[in-house]
Every structure is written in structure tokens, then in C-alpha cells.
Amino acid sequence: MKLKDQIKNKIGKLKLKSDLKTFERVKIFHNFNTAKTVGIIFDGTNPSNYDAARTFAKFITERKIRIFGLGFVESKEVSNFYSYYTGFNFFTIKDSNWQGIPSTHNVSDFINEKIDILVDLHLTENFQLDYICAMSKAEFKIGSYTTANKYYDFMIDISSNPNPDFLCEQIKHYLSIINN
């Protein structure tokens, strides 16, 4: 990582830390029986991550739960490949401000949306998606176990099989068996 990018990343993390000091959200556990809305965030730079998010979204909608999907693509524009599934919005690296904070209306709408469960499917370091996860007003946040992200209410260890498809299967399993 270039020095310029390291400085930008550090400033972005400081801004996030500052924003979190005044951030408030209601935390409520939800499972697939209680949730009415699910938000899915993922890194769509790799098309297989997009496929995992689409498959998971289909599972959610079959349960009559409304989905909101938001994907990050690390390029200057979103490929037409991503525009064929409704319910997903995308943003790119150029949609972030100088601090690395995503600044499009799709992102701010997602962050402010009343979501029962936020599912974070990204598995690698990505400040933009971490920012969205941290600032989301979702009542229950779930993602893969990591020592870096302190924003989840429920973490799943997928170190034995670190891929988004396995994470989705584990989320389905746990949110199907855990009761309120």
C-alpha cells in the first residue's frame, strides 16, 4: 500500500472512530422468523462473491423477507454484469471521499434504512464496507469472525473454509436454529 493510501486509510479510520462516538442504534436479536428486512453487504469485485450474495438473497426472499443489497466494486465503474439482479445497488472506489468513506446516496440510504439483520459477506480488509457495517442502523449485525471488526453482534468462525458461500450456509444454519 502506498504511503498516500496508508495516510488516507488512517484518516478514514479516525473519522469513523469519531462518528461512532455519537452513533446510536437499537440492538435486537433477530432470526429468520422475526426479521422482516435483511441488508446484505459484500465485495463484488470478485464475481463469485456476487453470486454468493445473490444466492443468499434468493434464500431470504423465499422466506418473504425484504432484502437490501449493497455491493462494493473496486474499479472506477460498475460492470453491466452486476445490473441484472434487482434489490442490489453498487458503489465503486470513485464513490468514496478523500478519507475513503463511501459518499453516494445509495450508501447513505442503506446506512439509514431500518434493517432487522445486516449480513456482512466481505472476508477481506475493506474500509468502505467496514464503515457501512459500523454506521448501519441495523438492529442485528452478523459476519465472519475477525479480530479487526468490532461492529458485529454475532460472528461466525469460518477459518476452516473461508469463502462467502460457506459463511452464507453457516448464517442460514445459526439463524434457523437460534430462537429469541
pLDDT in tens, 95-141: 989 888 999 999 999 999 999 999 999 998 889 999 999 999 999 99
User: How many domains does one find in the chain?
Assistant: 1
Burial 53-92 (b: 16+ CB within 10 A, else e): bbebbebbeeeebebbbbbbbeeeebeeebeeeeebbbbb
Instruction: Tell me if 92 sits within 8 A of 106, measured CB to CB.
Output: no
> What's the predicted TM-score (pTM) here?
0.90
DSSP 36: S
Q: Which domain holds residue 33?
A: 3-177
Placement of cell 486509510 in the chain: 9
CATH code, domain carrying 117:
3.90.1640.10
pLDDT, greater one: 81 or 34: 34
Encode pLDDT of 142-176 as tens digits.
Answer: 999 976 767 899 999 999 999 999 999 999 999 99
pLDDT, greater one: 119 or 93: 119
Encode pLDDT of 38-90 as tens digits.
Answer: 999 999 888 889 899 999 999 999 999 999 999 998 876 666 555 555 678 88
Residue 23, pLDDT above cutoff 80: yes
Residue 179, pLDDT above cutoff 70: yes
Q: Note the pLDDT of residue 86.
A: 63
Distance CA 73, CA 29 (A): 30
SS3 164: helix
Residue whose C-alpha is closest to residue 170's, from 97, 119, 113, 116 = 119
Q: Note the pLDDT of residue 125.
A: 86
Secondary structure percentages of the chain, helix, strand, coil, to 5 = 40, 20, 40
- As beta bridge partners, residue 71 has 42, 90
